[in-house]
Amino acid sequence: MIIGGQHELLIVQVSLSTNPKLSTSFSPCKLHEVESWQAEAYFPPPHSIGHQSVKTAASTASSWGSGHQTRNVARDEPCFVTKDLAYVLQRAHWVNAVRRDADRKAHIVTLPSERFLSERGIVSLGFNLDEPSNLTNLSSMLHIAMDKFDMFAVTCSEPSLDALITLVQRENDKWQDHFNFAEQYSRTFQFRYPPFTDCQYDLVVLHRKHFLPKRRCLTSYASGNPVLYAMADDGVLRHYPALNTSPRFPSFRFDATRSPGFSLNPFLVVLAAEIKFRRFLRWRATLSSPHPLDPLDKTLIEKTITLAELLYFQPVAALGSVYRHRMDAWMDVDSEGSGKDGSSSQPSEFGEMEQGDAMADSTARPLGAQRIHRRADLDAQKSADFYRDLLFSRETELTPEEEQIRREILASEECPEDLAEKIQTWRQYVEV
Q: How does pLDDT run across 224-269, given as a tens digit for each residue?
A: 999 999 999 999 999 999 999 999 999 999 988 888 888 999 999 9
Domain boundaries, the chain: 2-70, 73-332+367-432
pLDDT digits (tens, 9 = 90+) for 390-417: 666 554 555 666 566 555 554 543 444 4
Q: Which string of DSSP letters, residue by residue, matches 186-241?
A: -----TTSTTTTT-EEEEEES-HHHHSGGG--EEE-TTSS-EEEEE-TTS-EEETT
Q: Is the pLDDT of residue 270 over 60?
A: yes
Q: Is the pLDDT of residue 167 over 80?
A: yes
Query: Where is pLDDT greater, at 64 or 285?
Result: 285
Give the pLDDT confidence score for residue 70 in this predicted structure: 63
Question: Is the separation of the CB atoms in 121 and 167 below 8 Å?
Answer: no
> How many residues in total does the chain contain?
432
What's the whole-number average pLDDT of the chain? 74
Query: Where is pLDDT greater, at 57 or 200?
Result: 200
Q: Is the pLDDT of residue 47 over 90?
A: no
Q: Is the pLDDT of residue 331 over 60?
A: no
pLDDT digits (tens, 9 = 90+) for 344-354: 444 433 334 44
**Mean pLDDT in residue range 158-186:** 93
pTM of the predicted structure, to 2 decimals: 0.71
Express as a percent the part of the chain with pLDDT over 70: 58
Q: Is the pLDDT of residue 15 over 80?
A: no
CB burial of residue 69 (10 Å; 0-12, 13-18, 19+): exposed
Per DSSP, what are the bridge partners of residue 135? 93
Query: Where is pLDDT greater, at 190 or 44?
Result: 190
Q: Is the pLDDT of residue 129 over 60?
A: yes
Give the pLDDT confidence score for residue 37 in this predicted structure: 82
